[in-house]
Each structure stands twice: as structure tokens, then as C-alpha cells.
Chains A and B, each alone.
Chain A
Amino acid sequence: MALSNMPNSSDMTQTQSLQAKIKSEVEFYEPLSNTYDEALLPSGAKREHWSFALNSLKALGADNLTARESKTQRILRDDGVTYKSYTERERTWDLDTVPLIIDSDRWTQIEAGILQRSELFNRLFKDIYGSQELIRQGVIPPEAIFSHPSFLRSCFGIKQPSEHSLIFHGIDMIGTSDNNVCVIGDRTQAPSGPGYALENRTVMTRVFPSLFRESQVQRLAMFFQTLRVKLNSLSPDDHLPNIVVLTPGSSSESYFEHAYLANYLGYSLVQGRDLTVRNGQVWMKSLCGLSRVDVVLRRVDDFYCDPAELKSDSYLGVPGLLEVIRGGKVVLANPLGSGILESPVFLKYLSAISQALMGEQLLLPSVKTWWAQDPKDRDFIFDNISRLVIKPVYQKKGQKNILGSQLSEAELTDLREKIRQKPLKYVAQECISPSYAPTWQEQKFAPRPIVFTGFSVAGDESYSVMPGGLTRIGKNVDDQLVLNGQSILSKDTWVLSKEPVRHISLWSDKAKHDSMANDQEQNLSSRIVESMFWLGRYAIRAEYALRLLRTIFLQLNNANQLTDKSYQIILCTVTEVTETFPGFTLNDKKNNTATTLFKNPEAELTSVITDIKRTGSVASNLKEMLNCAEEVKSLLSADTQRVINDIRDDVNALEKTIKADFASAPEEALDPLVTSLLALSGLVNESMIRGYGWRFIEIGRDLERAYQTTKLINSLMSPVLTEHDEDTVLETVLLTLETLVTYRRRYRARTDVVNGLELTLLDETNPRSLSSLLKSLKEHIDVLPSRHQGRLLTIEKRLSLELLTKIQLARPITLCKMSKESDRRENLFKLMKKSQHLLNQLAVVLSDIYFDHTEIQHQVMAASWEDEL
């Protein structure tokens, strides 16, 4: 939009003219009675700070707003923004096109409240794991701490490196009136959300550039800047620390955010097994050996971080980590043990705690909370249970709050009994209704319940609050899910500024980080490198299978040209190349299933394409490829991510498209996938830095290509056939390898196995010939970092040299010789088998040297009692 820097920007003027043509006037809703609406007064009039945005949006008209809505969703999908809730499968994050707007006066209050609360929680953390004055002085009963499963006794007394050891704090709150908000919960372990908030902002500024610019919205970048300065300051010694983001892995609910933050902040994204403890330090296992880690931004829950001392069967942590923390050689943000601060029991005592620890009144009230352990509270809960929310003190993943009002009499009796038996484990809270805000849904503005999460990060002297945050909205007008923090529908949060907003970039402190930049590339973890390698291999496996099947569909549908023999050989090739045994097999004459398969190959062919559970199928190779891509997500460009998304969609739709197309030209259905895979390989080559990451993708691709080619040639060209059949199979090979056109141009109509072999095996001007592939493979392997300084060739270099030389020295005529004893070309057969053997050996050697070999960890003793109390 070129005109967008003018006032009354293009998106406005454009729509005003559109509006004249299309009557798509949209109206606001009547505010719901008995609720607080963030945007509208009870009269229906707009609050002052909302009117500019709402009027602008309204002026866009329904069609335009809906178009922007789809644009928003497209961007989120392209960026791969996902959130996996425990009840549903992975879903794309959803962003409403109407932001939540908070004016600067109200924000000043909220900000002060968050600052105070974070300071308070920081002191609470220190008290719990230190002097425990709160229980000694009777401010809280000892059980509030001792009975909570997140009170980690092994973290008691750890000396924290800075005044503010609680680095992050997330606060869930609800607006209750013009001047008041109510806090409903705190997130203190690994608060998720800041990354989603940032992504929401990025999308909104793209979709509504002028509206955003004209609204004087405070920027978010400063928050991340503070975070970065803070993390740097945590360095155990004076040097600039090596900081990593520790994620549970790609199956974690907010994995998107882990990768996104790692990327945005420029840190390595690691999993527990990428790290190891040696000599009292934490190290990252990388391609070039071990590199020291000083600060860990953790997204793994407390209990899972160290199997040696905490949850002994956890695979998400690093054994020995706690002892390194105690020694002060690594710092975690947030510190281990901070999970207990999320206990709702503290809300009951929070005013008293604030008085005791800070001598201050709380600025932000918390939701009224009763703890069943307290006899008076228990009586109150029993008497009022039907109008309270019952919450477990320790919330397990996916566990929901119970609404008394939604239970039958019998269920209430059960619940009372449960509480009576384990009063320590339950709190009750008053049922506060969320506030409402306008949301663009189903082509109209509608009120939806919202919960706002604010974030703070520790700075030098005090906390800094993100001027904004994450606003989650309920799907329906009476959606209570939003209160559980499980909604994936969100809003960008606009905090208005009184003064014009200055733009800050995260990269303004360049000088400091230049020195780190180089290291990151060399510092790829072994796991990442391995995923890159397999990403390459699986992509090629899928691509070859697709090409082969495409060719075979073409050949099959030319039925009159195929003899029985060539028909069988071609189908057997499918099984051999994709390794989907038993499948089409010839030797086994007694096997009736095999005979039936040959008569009606469609079902088997479909299965080889679409059966995701079948190893070797196109779908399963693509699934594995997508898994690898997910592992290395933080290293892929936005364009690559988009192609990956396309492939994911194609895989999901594969079965349907194939079934629909089987009757006519089924090969067409495979084309889009082949195109996407080509786009992926193109992007890898065009846009990836020529570092080890790229090299390992290429090694994976070359190695797999070479392997597939030997299988294809062996299966189709080593059998001795009639001249007619030989033409057919050679054509199949050339079509699959996309060299038929070249072949025809070069050799005219003469189909001849010798020429075919020359072109596919030996011709180095053909980039798909085996010798070209092996040459490229050798070049990559020659420049890998070597751990041996000797003068002899390393084993991987020997193997790649042997492979290349064996092929280069081969003569097509000799290879084509038929032997008297057997019905195949023994020389060709042996050379292909030998090459396959060497390729396999090479893959094993590469894996031994460069990849991570975390062995299975065992517990010294099996601990079945560690489940939550």
C-alpha cells in the first residue's frame, strides 16, 4: 500500500469507495447486561479510547473485515503458529482482527499493579526456599508450602545469582470495572505467551498497517530487550553468556513459541538430550564438540529438569543439572522450584503476605479464594459450593476447574466428599465473570469473554512490564474455557500512549552480539544436525517414490504395450524401491496374495502412497520429514516454513485426492506434492547459509538419491529381458529420473541399455547420474569438521572416495554383459549391491561420528512413588 503513510490511509479511502458500491454496513451489538464491556458503555456508546479503532474498523465494512480476517489466518498459518492443547490435536493459533485497547490511564494502574505483584512473588519465592519467615511468623500455615507437590525440597537454600531471581512472571487477569481488574492466576514456571503476543502484534501491523500507525500503540520490543539484557547479566562470570532455550520438544503445546523466541532472541533451541553435565558445568553437544552453556531459558517444567534428583524417569531434563545450579555455574530462568508460586492457596493469604514481605497493600486484588484445609473456609465451601469454582491446588496438565453451578446434586455430594477426604488439595474461588470485548466473528461484531495475561521481566533494579500482553477470548458468548487459559483464540493488546511512540528495534544493540553471531552456526547441536540429515533423506525418499509411482501409473495405463513380464517387473520395482515388503514379489509363486495383488494392484499402490502407518509409504516418509522439519523449525526461513505447511496440507489430503483420481490419470494427484518437494529443495539451495546445517541436508539428499538410484537401476535394468520389455523398463527408469528427454535428444530413438546406463550412472553432465551424486556427496564429506588430525584419510572420506571411484571406473559394456548361468546382468547387479552396501556403511559412520547418541537412561532405582502426591 503505497499511500499508507498518508493520513486517512489507503485502507480507509479504498473501503469508503467500496462501501458506496457494496452495502455492507456493520453495526455494533448491545452490550450484555450485568457484564463489563471493555469497549462499550452500558448505553451502547463507545468508550473514548476505543472510538477511533472501532470507527475505522466499521468503516472498512463487512467484506473487507472478513478479507482481513482470512489474511490474518493465512499469515498465522504461513508462520506456522500453532498451539497444541491437551484435549485437541494441534491447531493453528487464531487471532481476532479487533484488538483489545487499553488507554494509558488504566494501563498506568495495571502496570503499577503488575510491578508490585512481581516484586512480591520474587520475595515470596525467596522466602519459601530461604528463611521461611512466612510460616515461622504464622502468616501462612506450614501446609501451604509443605503439602504442595511443586515445593521442591532439593531446591531449598540454593543461592540465587541476582536480587530478582524470578525472571519472568505472567499474570492472568479480568477487567471488572472501569478502574478495577481482578487477578485470577499467576504463571511463574515458564510463562508461555510473550512470543504469541509478539507474533499477534507482528500480524496486526501487517494486516492493519495504517490503523496501527495512527493509534499510538506502545511497542513491545523494549520488553524483549530488557529480557535479553537481564539474561546477559546472569552470566556466571564476566564473559557474554552462551544462552539456550530449553524446550520439551516439538510435541510440547507451545513449541511454536519456544522456536519463535529462540529465533527472535538469537539463542539456540535445545532439548534436554542436547545438553550434558561434565566437570560441574553444563555443555551443549554440538557438531564441533562441547560448548559451554551459561544461562538456560527454560520451558520445561520444574520437576522434569533433572532426572538424577527430581523426576527420575524424565527424558526432558539434564541429569546432574541441579548440582551445577547449586555450584552457581549455570543459571535457569525461571529458577527451579518457582512452580509452587502458582499455587492458588497463596491467593487466600496474599494481602497478608504482601504486608509481611513488603509492608504494602496489594494494588491488584486477586480472586477471592478459600482453602478447604482451613476449617472455616471448608464450611463456607460446603455451604456455597454450587456458586463457587473448585480448583485443585496442584493443577495437572489439561485438568479443568469445576464449576459448582454446573453440577447435579449427586455430583455436588461426591465433590464435597472428595474435598472432605483431601482438604489440602482443593481451593474454591468466587465465580467472576470475565469482561467482554468486541470481536469480529461470523461477519459481525459480537461480544466475547476475555482474559488478559500481562507479563513482566526482571530488569536491573525492578521489573519491566510488557506494554501489552496476551488476550485470550472465548469462542462463544458464554465460553468458560477461556478462564482455564485453554482458548487458542486471541487478540492483540494495544496499550495506547499519550505521546507519539518511538520505534525500537531489538537489534539496536548490535555491537554486543556480533561476537556471538559466528558461533551460533558452528554450534548446531548434534540433534539438529541429525534432523537435518534425515530431513534430506526422507524428502528424497518421498520424492523418488512419488516420481516412480507417477511413471508407473503412466505405464500401467498404456496397458497394451506392457507384456506380462514387464508389468510384473515394474510393479516389483515399486516394492523394492520403496521397501514396502511383502508387496509385489515374484519369487513366491505359491503365495496367493501376491498373485491377487498383481491382478488388482490399485489397493496396494494406494497403500504405498497413503498408508501413513506403513514404513516406506509416501505418506510415512513425508510424515517423518515433517517431524524432522519441526525439530529444526527455528533454522528454517519463513518461505521454507510455508512450503512445509503446504506439504503438511497435501499429506493430509493425499488419501482423498488419490481415491478421487484413481479412475483417471491418478498420476496427476501426485504432481502438487512433487512440486512442493522441489520447492523445498530449491529453497534449501537458494536461501540456506552454507553452514553445516545446509551441508547435512545436502548429504542426506545426495546419499539417499544415490541409494534410490541404485535400487531403481538394479530392480529394472539388471534382469535380462526381451528387447521390447527392455525398452519399457528403460523408459521407466529414464522417466523416473527425469532424463528421458535428454536421452531421446542424444540417442534418438535407439533405446539401448548401454546408453541408458551411461546416462544414468556415469554421465557427469547429468546432475542426476549416480557419479554426479557421489561426486557431490564426496565434496560435502571432505569439508566436514574432522576430529582426527592424522595424515590418513578418515573412514568416511575413504568410503565416499571408494563409492565414487567404483562408479567412475565402471564400463557400461561390461556392466551389460549377460551371464550364462543366470537371467540377470551379474556385473551390474554386483556393482549396485556393492554401492548400496557402501552407502549404508557411510550413513552408519556419519551417524557414529556426528550425531547424538544419547543412550537410554536408566534410574538407579525404579521410583514408582514419584507421581504427584
Chain B
Amino acid sequence: MKYRVRHITEYKYDSKVNSCYNRAHILPRETLTQNVDTPRVVILPTPTSGSRRTDYFGNRAYHFSIQEPHTSLTIDVSTYITVKPLGNINGNQLGYGNTCAQVLQALNYTVPSIETIYAREFLLNSPMVRTSLQLQRFAEDCFSPQKPFLTAVMDLTHKIYKEFEFDPSVTSISTPLDEVLAHKHGVCQDFAHLAIGCLRSLGYAARYISGYLETLPPPGQQRLVGADATHAWFSVFSPGEGWFEFDPTNDSVPTFQHIVTAWGRDYSDVSPLRGVVFGGGRHQKLIVSVDVARLVRKEDE
């Protein structure tokens, strides 16, 4: 499946910004199931300097700074991406594989595999996700020692989908998890963080994924929630089996309609843009538009 992703971020400032220094996570990474052509990035005003690098988590980070006065900043990224739908599991396969008990045991081996060693980083607290008793309590009925681990995670995904309301009006990026849990609503970032917090509170390794959804699905398929902006979901680690993605906002197992930009411990590792601006006043307006179009080749029709 081939997609063209266009992601435009625009900042409008109250007053003149004289310079800015930024780190962006807006270039989709390569994954086992995803091939990415070199993205085209257009930034206005033109940066004084810009550089790409691979970050700690293997994501593509883009650093740029601007030294000319400006009152708006536009970052326009276009990428062509091929997604191999076979890479991930589908719903029918969730009942096989490690049980919850096996997962916990393997994670805590004294001599774990290299993959497990690195997965254990995602078991720890991270800047925006702290484990807690409340999170553990919320999730524990989905898990039991003999239950297949991925089935349990799917149940948790479903539970979040069912009990929480998708409501972009009530939450900012940094809504604390206990607030999300108390008010039972949020946006995709919150649900991903919530699931990760639950999993880590129970002793499982989970990471945060930022990315996109196909904007307009082919006729007959339902349009997914969160398709007009950047999206977020999570993945869990099952020792010996690898990482598996789940999308609590859509109660689904991502297949070929999810495009991965970056992953990390939580949002703070992969925020689309962070940095410092000099000047610009107190307020800024952020406009984001995302378009993910499936490219249909002539011969497929």
C-alpha cells in the first residue's frame, strides 16, 4: 500500500519572533513494515541551518534554527510511504503466543535477551507517564496469568475505547493521567499514555507511537477517528515475539492504515516540535493539517 502524507504545521505569533531553535519529529521513520522515501521538507522562513539525524530511539529528528524576524512559521512535509500490511498481526492471531505470566517472567530474567534488555527501558516511568496504583486497578481485570498476553492488551484497548470519550476540546497535550482517568475523556495522546501507564503499572513494557491515519478510506470502509491530525497509539513488548501495536482511540489493531512517524517512551520523546523562540509574545496560534492519501496505481484498478 502506498501513501502520500502531507503534514503542514503553522505557528502564528502575537509579535515578531527574532530567532528560534527547534527539534522536530515530523519525518516518518523506517520500520519493519514501512518503507519511507526521502521526505521533502519546506520551512518558511528558510532556516539558517538545518540538519537531520537519527535519534536515540531510531527516529528521524530534524533540527533547524531561524535567525530572521518572522511572525509565522510554516513546516510543510511531504512523504511517500509504502506500508506492508503483513508485518503486524490481525485480530485473529491475538489468542496465540505468550501468556501474561510468561511475559512477566521473561521480562524479569536475570540474563535477558538483548531485545528484552532494551525493552525494559519502556517499563520504567517516563516524563509524562508515571505508574500508579489507580492505573493498575483500572487495568488489572483485563489481565490474568494464563490469559494470552495480546488478548489481554486488546481487552485493555477495548476497555479504554468503551469507557472513555474522545473529546478534543477538553485536553491539552500535557493533561496528567490521573485527570484523564477521573474525567474519562481525552484525545488519542491521552489514551495512548493511559494504556502505557496501565501496562507499566502491571509490569509490562509499552511504548508510545506517533503517526498518521489514512484520511479518506476507500468506499465501504469507515473513516477512522483522529484522521485529520497527527495520531497516537502504543505498542507492547512480548519477549521472543516482538512489539505489537494497538490503537485505543479506534479500538483496533493497526494494520495498513496507520503510518508511524516516531516512537519513544511517551509524547515528550517524539513531540512534533520542541524548542525555544526569542520574542513572539505570550500567545501563539498553532494550525496543523494532515492529509494521508492512498495512491492507487493504474494497474490496480
Chain B residues 2-40 with CB under 8 Å of chain A are: 11, 18, 20-23
Cross-interface CB contact of B63 among A135, A153, A156, A323, cutoff 8 Å: A323
Chain B residues 121-137 with CB under 8 Å of chain A are: 121, 124-128, 130
Q: A858 interface residue, CB < 8 Å from B?
A: yes
From known contacts A320-B21, A855-B18, infer whether A308 and B274 are also in contact, taking CB-CB under 8 Å: yes
From known contacts A280-B49, A862-B174, infer whether A147 and B124 are also in contact, taking CB-CB under 8 Å: yes
Q: A327 interface residue, CB < 8 Å from B?
A: yes
Number of A-B residue pairs with CB-CB distance less than 8 Å in the complex they form: 102
Q: B89 interface residue, CB < 8 Å from A?
A: no
Q: Is the CB of B279 within 8 A of A138?
A: no
For the complex formed, measure the closest distance between the CB of B249 and the CB atoms of chain A, giving whole angstroms. Answer: 21
A855 vs B14: C-alpha distance when bound (angstroms) = 15
Q: Is the CB of A319 within 8 A of B127?
A: no
A135 vs B174: C-alpha distance when bound (angstroms) = 32
A135 vs B278: C-alpha distance when bound (angstroms) = 41
For the complex formed, measure the closest distance between the CB of A280 and the CB atoms of chain B, giving whole angstroms. Answer: 5
Chain B residues 273-287 with CB under 8 Å of chain A are: 273-280, 282, 284
From known contacts A854-B278, A860-B273, A861-B173, infer whether A327 and B125 are also in contact, taking CB-CB under 8 Å: no
A177 vs B91: C-alpha distance when bound (angstroms) = 68
Nearest chain-A residue to B129 (Cβ)? A865
Q: B67 interface residue, CB < 8 Å from A?
A: yes
Cross-interface CB contact of B274 among A323, A857, A860, A864, cutoff 8 Å: A860
Chain B residues 103-126 with CB under 8 Å of chain A are: 110-111, 114, 117-118, 120-121, 124-126
For the complex formed, measure the closest distance between the CB of B50 and the CB atoms of chain A, giving whole angstroms. Answer: 10
Q: Is the CB of A855 within 8 A of B278?
A: yes
- Interface size on B, as a range, is 35 or more
Q: Is the CB of B276 within 8 A of A279?
A: no
From known contacts A308-B22, A865-B268, infer whether A138 and B111 are also in contact, taking CB-CB under 8 Å: yes
Q: Is the CB of A860 within 8 A of B277?
A: yes
Q: Is the CB of A319 within 8 A of B275?
A: yes
From known contacts A142-B118, A279-B48, infer whether A424 and B276 are also in contact, taking CB-CB under 8 Å: no
Q: Which residues of B contact A319 (CB under 8 A)?
A: 21, 275-276
A97 vs B49: C-alpha distance when bound (angstroms) = 56
Q: A513 interface residue, CB < 8 Å from B?
A: no
From known contacts A142-B121, A278-B67, A855-B18, infer whether A327 and B51 are also in contact, taking CB-CB under 8 Å: yes
A278 vs B48: C-alpha distance when bound (angstroms) = 8
A153 vs B262: C-alpha distance when bound (angstroms) = 15
From known contacts A157-B56, A854-B278, infer whether A861 and B48 are also in contact, taking CB-CB under 8 Å: no
From known contacts A319-B275, A869-B125, infer whether A308 and B53 are also in contact, taking CB-CB under 8 Å: no
Chain B residues 236-282 with CB under 8 Å of chain A are: 268-269, 271, 273-280, 282
Most buried by B among A279, A857, A862: A857
From known contacts A279-B49, A320-B21, A864-B174, infer whether A142 and B273 are also in contact, taking CB-CB under 8 Å: no
Chain A residues 819-861 with CB under 8 Å of chain B are: 854-861
Q: Is the CB of B126 within 8 A of A858?
A: no
For the complex formed, measure the closest distance between the CB of A444 and the CB atoms of chain B, giving whole angstroms. Answer: 53
A323 vs B52: C-alpha distance when bound (angstroms) = 10
For the complex formed, measure the closest distance between the CB of B262 and the CB atoms of chain A, giving whole angstroms. Answer: 13
Q: Which residues of A contact B278 (CB under 8 A)?
A: 854-858
A854 vs B277: C-alpha distance when bound (angstroms) = 11
Nearest chain-A residue to B16 (Cβ)? A855
Q: Which residues of A contact B124 (CB under 8 A)?
A: 143, 146-147, 424
For the complex formed, measure the closest distance between the CB of A725 and the CB atoms of chain B, giving whole angstroms. Answer: 53
From known contacts A320-B21, A865-B127, A865-B268, infer whether A858 and B276 are also in contact, taking CB-CB under 8 Å: yes
Q: Which residues of A contact B22 (CB under 8 A)?
A: 308, 860
Cross-interface CB contact of A326 among B53, B121, B130, B282, cutoff 8 Å: B53
Residues 42-61 of chain B: 1 if any A CB is under 8 Å from the residue's CB, otherwise 0? 00000011010101110000
Q: Is the CB of B114 within 8 A of A136?
A: yes
Q: Is the CB of B269 within 8 A of A153?
A: yes
Q: A249 interface residue, CB < 8 Å from B?
A: no
Nearest chain-B residue to A864 (Cβ)? B174
A862 vs B276: C-alpha distance when bound (angstroms) = 10
Q: A307 interface residue, CB < 8 Å from B?
A: yes
Q: B102 interface residue, CB < 8 Å from A?
A: no
A858 vs B125: C-alpha distance when bound (angstroms) = 27
Q: Which residues of A contact B268 (CB under 8 A)?
A: 863, 865-866
Q: A334 interface residue, CB < 8 Å from B?
A: no
Nearest chain-A residue to B265 (Cβ)? A153
Q: Is the CB of B274 within 8 A of A312?
A: yes
Q: Is the CB of A277 within 8 A of B65?
A: yes
Nearest chain-A residue to B61 (Cβ)? A154
Q: A782 interface residue, CB < 8 Å from B?
A: no
Q: Is the CB of B117 within 8 A of A308?
A: no
For the complex formed, measure the closest distance between the CB of A853 and the CB atoms of chain B, giving whole angstroms. Answer: 9
Chain A residues 294-317 with CB under 8 Å of chain B are: 307-309, 312
Q: Is the CB of B48 within 8 A of A869?
A: no
A799 vs B190: C-alpha distance when bound (angstroms) = 60
For the complex formed, measure the closest distance between the CB of A453 and the CB atoms of chain B, giving whole angstroms. Answer: 32
For the complex formed, measure the closest distance between the CB of A481 and the CB atoms of chain B, giving whole angstroms. Answer: 32
A to B CB contacts below 8 Å, 27 in the list: A138-B110, A142-B120, A143-B120, A146-B121, A147-B125, A154-B55, A278-B67, A279-B48, A280-B49, A308-B21, A309-B23, A309-B274, A309-B275, A312-B274, A319-B21, A319-B276, A855-B18, A855-B278, A857-B276, A859-B274, A859-B275, A860-B273, A860-B274, A860-B276, A861-B274, A865-B268, A869-B126
The list of the 5 closest CB pairs from A to B, nearest first, reads A308-B21, A319-B21, A153-B56, A320-B21, A319-B276
Q: A854-B278, A869-B127 are in contact. List 16 more A-B contacts (CB 8 A).
A: A143-B120, A153-B57, A156-B56, A277-B65, A307-B276, A308-B22, A312-B274, A312-B275, A319-B275, A323-B21, A424-B124, A857-B276, A858-B277, A858-B284, A860-B22, A860-B277
